[in-house]
Amino acid sequence: MSLALAKNTKMKNILIGLIVSLSSFHACGGEVYPSLFDVQIGKPFDHPRGQENKDINRPTTQFRVPNYGKTSVLFPEYQVSYLNKNYSVSIVTAESVSKSMTECMHKKEEALKLLKPAFPKYSPTPQEKSNLGGSNEFSASDENTYFVFQCQQSYGPFSTLHIQFRGVAQDKELKDAWNAFFNK
């Protein structure tokens, strides 16, 4: 009896481990892909058809992805940009439009509750060390990835919560690729 119980417990632990390891990926029609916070900058987009429709006329390809999980309430979709030469993700962007700046700031507070546990080592980047030369940037000293997170007032009547993940190395690759493209 105890051998059967031990086997049952072992199988249960294996199944729990499998479920936990797959929890950050979504299956849609048999296709598995990462949610917004799980896309890895500097690596190919993890999707079986991630690179089959490459934009051959430019150095980068962009596409939109339906989001899922906790972050989908605020960001129902996100955009991925990858470098065509090596398929590495260079930028991931998500936005949420609000009726007012107050509503946007409330959404930002809700998003921070999700960001902090997902990126515990990240903190605001001092402006003089900012990769983009602005504020609202977050980074970790030992990480290639950094992100910009802010509410923006548009020229119209609405505000936008904007988050963009980037990579320091990928910014240089993007700059070089676009300079080569425009200086042919």
Question: Confidence band (pLDDT; 50, 70, 90) for 20?
Answer: very low
Indicate whether 31 pLDDT > 70: no
Lowest mean pLDDT segment, chosen from 24-28, 33-37, 56-60, 64-68 = 24-28
Please state, in angstroms and rounded to a whole number, the distance separating the CA atoms of residues 39 and 96.
18
> Which tokens go with 93?
């962007």
Exposed / middle / buried, residue 169 (Cβ in 10 Å: 0-12, 13-18, 19+): middle
What is the per-residue DSSP string for 153-179?
A: E-SSS-EEEEEEEEEHHHHHHHHHHHH
pTM for this model (two decimals): 0.79
Read off the pLDDT of residues 128-169 as tens digits, 9 standing for 90 and up: 888 777 778 899 988 999 999 999 997 889 999 999 999 999
> Which tokens go with 54?
């490459």
Do 43 and 89 contact (CB within 8 A), yes or no?
A: yes
Predicted confidence at residue 86, as pLDDT, reads 87
Please state, in angstroms and rounded to a whole number, the distance separating the CA atoms of residues 142 and 145.
9
- Three-state secondary-structure class, residue 184: coil
Tell me phi and psi for residue 2, to 5 degrees. -70, -30
Question: Confidence band (pLDDT; 50, 70, 90) for 49?
Answer: low
Alpha helices, DSSP H, located in the chain: 2-22, 101-118, 168-182
Indicate whether 6 pLDDT > 50: no
Question: Confidence band (pLDDT; 50, 70, 90) for 181?
Answer: confident
Predicted confidence at residue 162, as pLDDT, reads 95
CB neighbour list of residue 166: distance below 8 Å, 6 or more residues apart: 41, 90, 91, 131, 132, 145, 146, 147, 148
Average per-residue pLDDT in the chain? 82
Please state, in angstroms and rounded to a whole number, the distance separating the CA atoms of residues 106 and 84.
37
Read off the pLDDT of residues 99-136 as tens digits, 9 standing for 90 and up: 999 999 999 999 999 999 999 999 988 888 887 777 78
Predicted confidence at residue 103, as pLDDT, reads 96
